Structures are given as structure tokens and as C-alpha cells.
Amino acid sequence: MATILTILPEGFEEIEAITPIDLWRRAGFDVSVASLSSKTKVTGRSNIAIHADMALGSIAPSLTFDLLFLPGGPGVAHLRESPEVRDLLGRQFVADKWIAAICAAPLVLHDAGLLDGKDFTAHPSTSGELSIPKSDRKVVVDGKIITSPGAGTALPFALHIITSLIGEKRSEEISLSICA
């Protein structure tokens, strides 16, 4: 069973977090949701509160996951300020594990030096800091980094990650079950 860690900061984009978490759990993945703060209640940009499984600080420093996922939204500013997130990203990268970011969250990957020479996408609002190739692709994969531009692409993004981790068949089953 694939293991996924989703990190939620205050102000995360709800669609970009909840849609993937839901689909990945339907696929049978072991999805852990960690709050960036010490509180397990995390409130998104649209004032929807989510109960995280744990605080990020409680995760053992040596632990890696099959996939580390960062949703976007205004909370990306908190992710960018976090040395714990940067360290975890570095460990994932060195361990050759998957890293996924949607919307503005590729900025966090950029700050960690993980986008150098990579093909990626991000929300158009990040264009002042990121050189995003003009593309209509909803999901971009380069090596073990998966990116997507925003809330409207959360569904194909989540399904693509299912394909990447366990194969097309399971992704198609999930897609059919939700009438995608």
C-alpha cells in the first residue's frame, strides 16, 4: 500500500487538498494528513476546518513516504517559511520518492531547489517568481515531481498520482466510480 503525507498549513486551498485525499483513500492508499502547526484543526482559505491526523513536528525525522503532497492556496506562504517542510522535501528528493505540488505550492519546491532544470506547472499567479512554460497541461511530471496549476485540475492531478503510484487500472476504476 502506498503511503502519502499531505501537509496542511492554515489557509490551504480546500479543493486542492480534499479532492486528492479522498481519491487516494478510495484507491487504498495510507494517507496521513499533517498540520503544519502544532494544532490538528487546520482552517482552509474558504474557512472550512479539517482535522489533521497529526502535527508535522510529530513525524520522525528519518521517515519518508511514497509521496509527499503540498496543496496550494494562501497557506503556501507558511509552507515556504517552514524549515521542517524544506528538510522533508530534501529527504524525499534524496530518497528518490514522489513529490507533488499543486497551484502555488511549486513555489515551495522552487525554494528548496527542486525545480532547477525540471518541467513543471503552477498557478499563473506565481509567474512573478517562476518561469512557467505556457501549457494547457493539467498535470506535469518530470522525474518524481508532479505538479498541477490549480483547484480546477485537482481531480485529474489526483487520478494521475494514482496511476503513477499503482497503475492505470486502479485510476480508471476510481474515475469510473465517481463518474469522472
**Residue type (1 letter), 35:** S
Confirm if 147 and 100 have CB atoms less than 8 A apart: yes
Does residue 133 carry a pLDDT above 80?
no
Q: Is 179 a catalytic residue?
A: no
Catalytic residue among 27, 103, 105, 130: 103
Nearest to 167 by CA among 64, 71, 33, 29: 29
* Per-residue model confidence (pLDDT) at position 64: 85
- Rounded to two decimals, what is the model's pTM? 0.97
> For residue range 66-78, what is the model confidence (pLDDT) as tens digits?
999 999 999 999 9
Instruction: Please report, for the domain that includes residue 140, its CATH number.
Output: 3.40.50.880
- Which residues are CB-neighbours of 59 under 8 A, at least 6 positions away? 5, 34, 88
The C-alpha cell of 171 is what? Answer: 485510476
Count of structural domains within the chain: 1
Q: How far is residue 103's CA from residue 126's CA, in Å, rounded to a whole number?
A: 8
For residue 97, the enclosing domain spans 3-177
